[in-house]
Structure 1
Amino acid sequence: MVDLSVEIIVFEILTRAPAKVVGRSKSVCKEWYALLSRQDFAKIHCSRSLNSSNQRILMVSDLTCSIHQIDIRSCDYGPGTIVDFPFNDISIHSHLDGFLCVCLDSTFELLLWNPVTGAYKNLSTPDFHGTYQNNLDAVGLYIDASQDYKVLHIKRRCGVYGAHVYSRRLDSWRNIPFITRPEYIRQSFYWSSGTLCGDTLYFTVSESYIDGVNVVICFDVNLEQFKEISFPPVPCNGIYKGELLNVKNELHMFVSTGYREMSIDLWKIEGEYWIKDFSCSGMITLDEWCSMSHFMTNGNWQLMTKQGKLYEIQVDTKPFECFYHPTCFRLKNGAMFLETVVSQTL
């Protein structure tokens, strides 16, 4: 029988183990605790966690948070595990590598939170960095070339835009230059949360009126520069809205048009141009499509609305078979995320 070294057990076996197994393994001894707490372990574990078996759903009610596993074959979910989180009434705005960026609705403070480990970091400061206002602000999570996790926070205050970046490594905020069209400052424009794809965060900026303006703002996470690109060329017929998603590191957008019965086109960006993947007509009603968010991918694509409904996209079938509603969540808030051991602190 061959004895395995601790390094092999930790970096070859436990980097492939579920996050909860890693957490329990920290109590084996001081050496294991030190190795399992290292940043290089967390990074390797996270890269090996990017599969459907580690995908979970966090559901938030007024009193509790719970994590549920997804059965990929049935698109259903099992009994939940209650999460110990000392705050009620949160809204979820972004996710990356098991992190969730959430806002405390009572105090408007932004937090980074890993529901699996229970660790969280309050990002607010006495000079009002890290405070979020609904319908005015937008946030996006990303990791830059130096492997530093960061939060981009775009604010609209008193008719002025501001862009601020939080560094987990430095535990501090700083302002960065941000110039955009003056009309986007108006409250009639709505900013989505950021969708990370490659080295760029993408935001949709949409005017709330019928036939209103729709654009995409791109933020290069390494150069810290912004630019604007167009929406896909979809003829507007009533309400017109796009939802971004990252599919295997390729940026896609669902564009919904219509009024009561929506037509939905899926587009993929190539360079700065949009190529249509497929179209569906009359597949989803107004009260369901308007709040799609918080999605992860797993081969087939799953989307979750803010109302808690789960939808699945099957891309290897004919277009009219692609979009269906497998199950329903009856809670006000939720997110799909991957279980990881990445920590909010160094």
Structure 2
Amino acid sequence: MDLPEELVADILSRIPIKAIARSKCVCKRWHQILSEPYFASLHISRSPEGLLTCPYDMKKFDIFKLTELDEKSELHHDIYHDLLMSFDTGFSPEHCYLALCGSVNGLICLWEHKNEAYVCNLITRDYIRLPVHKHVRNSTMNPKYGFGFVKTNNEYKVVCFYNEYDFSSTEGLDKSRCWVYTLGTGVWRSLGHVPFLVDPDNHEGLFVCVNRNWHGSDDGIFVSGNLHWLVYDKKDTSHEKVCTLDLKKEVFQLTACPQVDEKVDFRRLGKLRELLCVCDTTQRSEVAIWVMKDYGMKDSWTKDIVIHGEHINPLSGRIHPLKVFEDGTMLLSSKFHLFTYHPGNKSFKVLDIFGERAHFNQAVAVVFVPSFISLKSFVKEKAFQYSCLGESSASHHTLCALINFD
């Protein structure tokens, strides 16, 4: 007698991600069960965190690698040996640069130098190419993106900012415009011009803020159901602000960043222990990580961790916290390195990720939760499936051949 489908789904949702992918090849019944939205929802509630990296080299910009983050391991520096899967999106060589700008529920948002944006599920190998609106295409400056999820409406939203430069004005860079794309609608909607500038670090010298250089604003950080960016407030030129976009109401709010006494060379927004954080690198190569203890309250910024210069001199630049393990060990990344640091014993170790340390130049590293959420459920967009590099047409129809198991 066959087991009930609900019981099969419950059992399969508890096994490792590679085993689930292989299970789709066992029989048609299992394939059908594993393709249902019910299974995707059940699995993601149990799916363990992994580390997703894109170790760019000069020839390939679209190969992603997923490794396991094991809370129980006493040797967290060994995570880079535990490769689970590798993915080749196949977007190169036509697309020379592919950037990851957000990850939610196993879906990732990517954009490339032609200002095309994609939403992709690396596990199912489905992707959606978002329409390119003319304003971003005609912009001479790189856009900034964000990717988030409205749980109450079950909506995924891609947010795009781009700065407009008025060459006739003595002030130069004038304003930012914001657009929102909700998956399933097929169209970009304009939120109009906003009274702040997102990421003027692309235009060094146009603005000068006290105590820091404009190096470090990145794509949106998804925390507490909202997206966040570092921005320049035109009404207050003394300090940068945190811009919060309420994804459900689609309204903005500006909050002050932590105020510091010394000059900050690099500032980056991030998430640490599910809290919004700001990571500062000073001229002395000292890193201070501030966390917002009470979400939305500017007075709740607390200097949580300080890494002194003797530990990070080789890693000067923007530091991005990724994860804190149960024993306090932190996993962090910089422009060139992935490394661990323990605040208690001050131990510090640079990781040779996948044995490709030389190829970690400007790589992306994010905490990633694998899922089986299908992009085919969004009716206004056509979901495509990319295949492995050099994959034969026969193997294209078999999911076992669509994932590189290492």
Q: Secondary structure at the match of 1:116?
A: coil
Match of 1:87 in 2: 91
Closer, same or farther in 2 for the Cα pair 1:344/1:178, shift >3 Å?
A: farther
Alignment of 1:312 with 2:361, yes or no, is no
Match of 1:252 in 2: 277
Separation in 2, partners of 1:269, 1:226: 20
Q: Secondary structure at the match of 1:93?
A: strand
The answer on whether the counterparts of 1:196 and 1:246 sit within 8 Å (CA) in structure 2 is no
Shift of 1:19: 3.1
Closer, same or farther in 2 for the Cα pair 1:184/1:85, shift >3 Å?
A: closer
Match of 2:305 in 1: 278
Shift of 1:198: 1.1
Q: Residues 283-321 of structure 1, C-alpha deviation per residue, up to 9 Å, x if partnerless?
A: 5557734244583565444222343x112244xx53x72
Alignment of 1:243 with 2:269, yes or no, is yes
Alignment of 1:60 with 2:56, yes or no, is yes
Structure 1 unmatched ranges of 5 or more: none
The correspondence for 1:267, drawn from 291, 298, 301, is: 291
Match of 2:372 in 1: 341
Q: Secondary structure at the match of 1:241?
A: strand
Shift of 1:202: 1.4
Match of 1:115 in 2: 122
Separation in 2, partners of 1:303, 1:132: 36
Closer, same or farther in 2 for the Cα pair 1:199/1:263, shift >3 Å?
A: closer
* Identical residues among aligned pairs (%): 20
Q: Residues 163-217 of structure 1, C-alpha deviation per residue, up to 9 Å, x if partnerless?
A: 111122323321224532379879446642111111221112269xxx9732111
Q: Secondary structure at the match of 2:32?
A: helix
The answer on whether the counterparts of 1:58 and 1:334 sit within 8 Å (CA) in structure 2 is yes
Closer, same or farther in 2 for the Cα pair 1:330/1:240, shift >3 Å?
A: closer
TM-score by length of 2: 0.70
The correspondence for 1:166, drawn from 181, 185, 195, is: 181
Separation in 1, partners of 2:269, 2:69: 25
Separation in 2, partners of 1:183, 1:21: 43
Separation in 2, partners of 1:122, 1:168: 11
Shift of 1:69: 2.3
Alignment of 1:221 with 2:247, yes or no, is yes
Separation in 2, partners of 1:183, 1:29: 50
Closer, same or farther in 2 for the Cα pair 1:156/1:250, shift >3 Å?
A: same
Alignment of 1:100 with 2:103, yes or no, is no
Superposed CA RMSD: 3.4
State the AA in 2 paired with 1:275: T
Structure 2 unmatched ranges of 5 or more: 166-173, 205-213, 378-406
Which protein is richer in strand relative to its size? 1
The correspondence for 1:138, drawn from 144, 147, 151, is: 144
State the AA in 1 paired with 2:87: V
Q: Residues 4-29 of structure 1, C-alpha deviation per residue, up to 9 Å, x if partnerless?
A: 3222111x122223333333323344
State the AA in 2 paired with 1:167: T
Separation in 2, partners of 1:293, 1:135: 24
Closer, same or farther in 2 for the Cα pair 1:172/1:17, shift >3 Å?
A: farther
Closer, same or farther in 2 for the Cα pair 1:287/1:147, shift >3 Å?
A: farther
Shift of 1:58: 3.9
Q: Secondary structure at the match of 1:86?
A: coil
Closer, same or farther in 2 for the Cα pair 1:147/1:40, shift >3 Å?
A: farther
The answer on whether the counterparts of 1:218 and 1:228 sit within 8 Å (CA) in structure 2 is yes
Closer, same or farther in 2 for the Cα pair 1:173/1:18, shift >3 Å?
A: farther
Shift of 1:155: 1.6
Separation in 1, partners of 2:316, 2:191: 34
Aligned length, in residue pairs? 331
Separation in 2, partners of 1:254, 1:294: 8
Match of 2:317 in 1: 290
